[in-house]
Copies of this chain bind each other. A is one copy, B any other.
């Protein structure tokens, strides 16, 4: 891979020393998750430390003040020329949607290697002229508080730091919650949005040990601010991935597939023939669960919401390898579940991103001694478990947060997992429905991610929410 871009200036210099470990933000169905109480939050964030990234906060602060960098953590404050680009007009955004992006109706296997060399190649000219970023200075509705800002020259690459050309970054529900201010992990404001993404190393500073120019990297920690064209960060803020990784998978591997993978690995020792039951099965995590379970020879019972395009949705999940697909209403009926489960053994693992009665449906069919893992709370209703289920049925009720997993495990363990997942993507055993959106057309992508497109038409709403992940492409 060629050097795609070299640093041509400095903004922010070396800002902020090394920070404590922190994870990427969480899972695919957190968009309706209420924020934890303040006391809880304080406890949780104890170990996570401040998440102001290297040049992330510097960039944002500079943009916000339209002035010199004034970060307290800056060791070298450099003058910066800044301008703020107003969000694109509604018609522009809608136009982007109208075209269906790159994958609205696709099967989720776009952007293979051969295609990427063309479509992903950045324009040197545009990179030289500007460094754009999606910045917010206050918490609130992303469509209101986010703005496309532009700054140049670029930050200086300090000791132990690298310059990264961001190639693509997804919009995860947790990114939205973070901007709204309802997510436990919140970077100091102003901040650049986005926590996940893939890029290529375009410059390395002195003392960098493990990365070199052209390395393909993904964000290793929460708070990097991936919704921008270039960033300078510590070497350790990145994970180098397989050089021939499909880029759209590399861009999205850290949150959703990782969540699915860990939930299948860490709670129950699943063996071939076992059964897993999950709700919210159309989510990105849910789709990954189906496919990763298949790789292990594990079957899946998938609970989804009723919807106008139910038959098509069921078919899509079956195409991914779903063993059983039922609606939430069906899952509440014991006789229906008995019928559809047929000879399947009772599930030893349940995955819940909904809560309320949908979680109860999982608990009902779970095998004695089984575990239910909650990773989202879409219904905004708690998990309710009877004393009998706990005492006599010995069910175990747990939660999973990928940030915590990252916090507690080594970078090597994580690297191994990520490359394993990317290899599965290369082998087409792990497909994700991704809709590529040009960076400039972020508003349309945001609206889809927020489920605001076609709000009056349920079908479009559902499509916007669950059918494809919006992936910002920085070119």
Contact = CB atoms under 8 A, between A and B. Distances in A.
A182 B230 CA distance: 66
Interface in A17-49: 26, 30, 33-37, 39-41, 43-44
Contacts of A35: 388
Given A40-B368, A368-B44, A388-B40, A399 B395 contact: yes
A245 interface: no
Interface in A355-398: 355, 367-368, 374-377, 382-398
- Of A184, A377, A397, chain B has the most CB atoms within 10 Å of the CB of A397
Nearest to A44: B392
B383 A376 contact: no
Contact of A391 (B41, B346, B375, B390): B375
A387 B399 contact: yes
Contacts of A401: 391-392, 394
B388 A33 contact: yes
Nearest to A46: B368
A227 interface: no
A44 B387 contact: no
Copies of this chain: 2
Given A384-B382, A397-B385, A391 B33 contact: yes
Interface in A333-348: 334, 346
A388 B34 contact: yes
Given A44-B368, A395-B399, A376 B387 contact: yes
A367 B399 contact: no
Given A367-B43, A392-B40, A377 B387 contact: yes
B382 A385 contact: yes
B392 A374 contact: no
A404 interface: yes
Contact of A390 (B39, B367, B394, B397): B397
A355 B40 contact: no
A377 B453 CA distance: 46
Given A43-B367, A382-B385, A385-B397, A184 B392 contact: yes
Interface string A201-245: 000000000000000000000000000000000000000000000
Contact of A43 (B368, B386, B387, B404): B368
Contacts of A384: 382-385
A400 interface: yes
Contact of A376 (B377, B391, B396): B391
Nearest to A338: B39
Nearest to A380: B387
Given A377-B391, A393-B399, 11 more contacts: A30-B391, A33-B391, A36-B388, A37-B388, A41-B392, A377-B386, A383-B387, A385-B397, A391-B401, A394-B401, A396-B398
28 contacts: A33-B391, A34-B386, A35-B388, A36-B389, A37-B388, A40-B392, A40-B393, A41-B392, A43-B346, A43-B367, A43-B368, A44-B368, A44-B393, A374-B387, A374-B390, A375-B391, A377-B391, A383-B387, A385-B385, A390-B397, A390-B399, A394-B399, A394-B401, A395-B399, A396-B396, A396-B397, A397-B397, A397-B398
